[in-house]
Amino acid sequence: MTFEQNAHHFGSFTMQRPQMGQILGVPLDQNTCNTWRDIWSFQAHPKDVLVAAYPKAGITWMQEIVDMIFQGGDSEGCRRAPTYDRHPFLEIVAPKPVPSGLQLAEAMDPPRILKSHLPIQLLPPTFWEQDCRVIYVARNAKDCLVSYFHFQRMNKGLPDPGSWGSYFSAFLSGDVPWGSWFDHVIDWWKAKDRHQILYVFYEDMIKDPRREIQKVMSFLGKDPSEEVLQKIQHHTSFQAMKENPMANYSTIPSFVMDQSISPFMRKGTVGDWKNHFLVAQNEIFEVEYKRRMEGNGLAFRTQL
């Protein structure tokens, strides 16, 4: 049953925000924790492609790009279903009767495009055993924080973020779903030369989408033809995705995602943190950022 049918089924159903649990110290939805054995033993196919990212780094954008590449630039093909039905979200266990990510994936023939927010140490080992291609999207911490705050406000599938001030501290200490931004981006970065991982920055995608799409195409072994490139760039622009019900999550009922609180396709820019961070918060952030990031060779841009 889809989210739409589910909404119809339950009428004016109101949704409880989830309980959280932990796997190896990483905060995850309790339903995910309860299903952890099955998630960990997921079986990938060598032709599957995984799109991975910390929450709010631009995974939906990358999913649409990869889907367009698989469809050879045919945007109608990408309109076959909403994002969450096209690309199983590996670790998601939605309230019944909505299928879990695992159930969706198992019902699909490879090559599948799969989605995950898992930190690398929690990614099921099958992806490495099968030598799958993984595209990892990373976004600067300040914009991620802002985007995540607004997303947790509007998405009842996640805990209430509380006030901006308390959320700011929770994010810095990694006490948010899927854990620490620092651990996530650093550990995926360290693994990128050991596996087939393409590490892409959101800021580069904003600055030069064409070049980043080309990179993804060649990583997936596709020759970038000019015509297909242009179609992908057009179909995956912020405006086009904002207006596309198959990419903007508007098919999820408002008792789950209330887009009147904050739209899923919210701003899509680099530097919105400047409209949220207080001067004192920025100072605290910079100290912690330096402490955690110094010497790891991973550089983010917080403005273009």
Among 70, 199, 238, 255, binds ligand A3P (CB under 6 A): 238
12 to 16, 37, 67, 95: CA distances (angstroms): 13, 34, 33, 16
CB of 240 to ligand A3P, least distance (A): 7
**DSSP H helical segments within 13-137, as ranges?**
30-34, 36-40, 59-70, 75-78, 83-86, 101-106, 126-129
Part of the chain binding ligand A3P (CB under 6 A), chosen from 42-50, 164-172, 190-198, 261-269: 261-269
Catalytic (active site) residue 117: yes
151 to 41, 86, 101, 147, 257: CA distances (angstroms): 30, 21, 20, 6, 9
Q: Select from 22, 12, 1, 28 the least CA-distant residue to 158.
A: 28
The single residue of 8, 45, 117, 195 carrying the catalytic annotation is 117
Query: Does 241 help bind ligand A3P (rule: CB under 6 A)?
Result: yes
Nearer to ligand A3P, 65 or 132 (CB): 65
Query: Does 75 help bind ligand A3P (rule: CB under 6 A)?
Result: no
Letter for the amino acid at 235? H
Question: What are the residues whose beta carbons fall under 8 Å from the beta carbon of 11, sequence distance 6 or more?
Answer: none
| Helices first, then strands: H and E counts in the chain | 16, 6
CB of 265 to ligand A3P, least distance (A): 5
CB of 247 to ligand A3P, least distance (A): 8
Query: Does 60 help bind ligand A3P (rule: CB under 6 A)?
Result: yes
Query: Does 57 help bind ligand A3P (rule: CB under 6 A)?
Result: yes
Query: Does 56 help bind ligand A3P (rule: CB under 6 A)?
Result: yes
Which residues are the active-site residues? 117
| Binding residues vs ligand A3P (CB under 6 A) | 53, 56-61, 143, 147, 150, 236-238, 241, 265-268, 272
